[in-house]
Amino acid sequence: MKVAVVGATGLVGSKMLQVLEERNFPVTELIPVASERSVGKEVVFKGKSYTVVSMMDCIKAKPAVAIFSAGGGTSLEWAPKFAEAGIRVIDNSSAWRMDPTKKLVVPEVNAHVLTAEDYIIANPNCSTIQMVVALQPLHQRYGIKRVVVSTYQSVTGTGKKAVDQLFNERKGVEGEMAYKYPIDLNVIPQIDVFLENGYTKEEMKMVKETNKIMGDESIRVTATTVRIPVIGGHSESVNVEFANDFTLDEVKSILSAAPGVVVQDDPAQQLYPMPLWAHDKDEVFVGRLRRDETQANTLNMWIVSDNLRKGAATNAIQIAEYMMQNGLL
């Protein structure tokens, strides 16, 4: 199968190549694509070098699927051109997520919505993906009424410039700033731009995407998203109010059996999810499970996942795997 990775030289694009190789996706020919300034560069996949090509050259090569991670503007311009050429696009930007004509997919939650008519499929926001993977099996059992989430997000979610800023600050080196403020030894309670309602764009993405992916507009979500000086994973404190009561033992049992979820919850052994453990893994790790003692039918949980893998690259490739297995590729 001919597979294109658009944005192949970026942080997420590089991770996509790694995940395609690890999962042994049946790539017969890789077509790495990047911006004009990167055309002609080499990327390595399965020990072989491939030359980065332009968008037009990629379309002419007719891959079966193109996995995009090149920013919203690029996706808005090029994804329709790929689709018109009969190439399925799985897009990692925010460009198509809330388009009512496009599917927003987390395979463990709603892969069943995909059809042969879908040529542009949206990959959700990283912080939304890990939350809905953990919430969906609980929603099916107890019915979620309201979610209050606070995130603690890795600098890798911003990109290489932010990673460089963090390490420059640790070394005491002057350098380019990805953020308005220092990130080392600091916490920045802003991810993306502020909107008129006082929330950031990232916070409202979590609200709207959760409703769309879970197929339930009645779930009320409120979010606070925060950048922290960590590499290798996003963490989330999630407070969930259910329509029906639960037992902690049953919650643990449901989550333990849920696809893509690993329960790490043993206070006696100080065992709980951390980015340190989640780094370079594909699962969503859940722990600190406890009742909210101030409100009926309400659970507190802590959710951690590698934002470059399950939050981006792995989820996109799982979509491609599902499509292949179901004759859509």
pLDDT tens digits for range 234-275: 999 999 999 999 999 999 999 999 999 999 999 999 999 999
Name the nearest CA neighbour of 227 among 189, 273, 177, 274.
189
Phi first, then psi, for residue 237 (nearest 5°) are -95, 120
pLDDT digits (tens, 9 = 90+) for 232-241: 899 999 999 9
Which residue is listed with tokens 């403020």? 181
R_g (Cα) of the chain, nearest Å: 20
pLDDT digits (tens, 9 = 90+) for 48-103: 999 999 999 999 999 999 999 999 999 999 999 999 999 999 999 999 999 999 99
Give, as one character, the DSSP assignment of residue 93: S
* Residues 6 or more apart in contact with residue 113 via CB below 8 angstroms: 103, 105, 215
What is the reported pLDDT for 135?
A: 98
- Give the burial class of 269: count Cβ atoms within 10 A of its Cβ; 0-12 exposed, 13-18 middle, 19 or more buried: exposed
pLDDT digits (tens, 9 = 90+) for 97-125: 999 999 999 999 999 999 999 999 999 99
What is the reported pLDDT for 51?
A: 97
- Domain 2-123+312-325 listed as CATH 3.40.50.300: no
What is the residue extent of each domain of the chain?
2-123+312-325, 127-307
Give the Cβ contact number of residue 115 at 10 Å: 9
Domains 2-123+312-325 and 127-307 agree in fold: no
> Can you read off the two tokens belonging to residue 328?
């859509």
Give just the sign of the alpha carbon dihedral 108, 114, 118, 119: positive
pLDDT digits (tens, 9 = 90+) for 159-212: 999 999 999 999 999 999 999 999 999 999 999 999 999 999 999 999 999 999
Angle in degrees, CA 303, 306, 311, rounded to 5: 90
| Coil, strand or helix at 164 | helix
Please compute the mean of the pLDDT values over residues 41-48 and round it to a whole number: 96
What is the reported pLDDT for 232?
A: 84
Amino acid residing at 100 = P
**Cα 321 to Cα 318: distance, rounded to the nearest angstrom:** 5
The residue ranges of DSSP E strands in 34-188, in sequence order, are 42-45, 48-51, 65-68, 88-91, 103-104, 120-122, 144-153
Which residue is listed with tokens 């292949």? 324
**Cα 235 to Cα 135: distance, rounded to the nearest angstrom:** 15
Q: Which fold does the domain 127-307 belong to in CATH? A: Dihydrodipicolinate Reductase; domain 2 (3.30.360)
What is the reported pLDDT for 172?
A: 97
How much is the mean pLDDT over the chain? 97
Phi first, then psi, for residue 293 (nearest 5°) are -80, 0
pTM: 0.96
Q: Could you give the residue numbers annotated as active site? A: 126, 234
Share of the chain above pLDDT 70, in %: 100
Whether the Cβ atoms of residue 143 and residue 243 lie closer than 8 Å to each other: yes
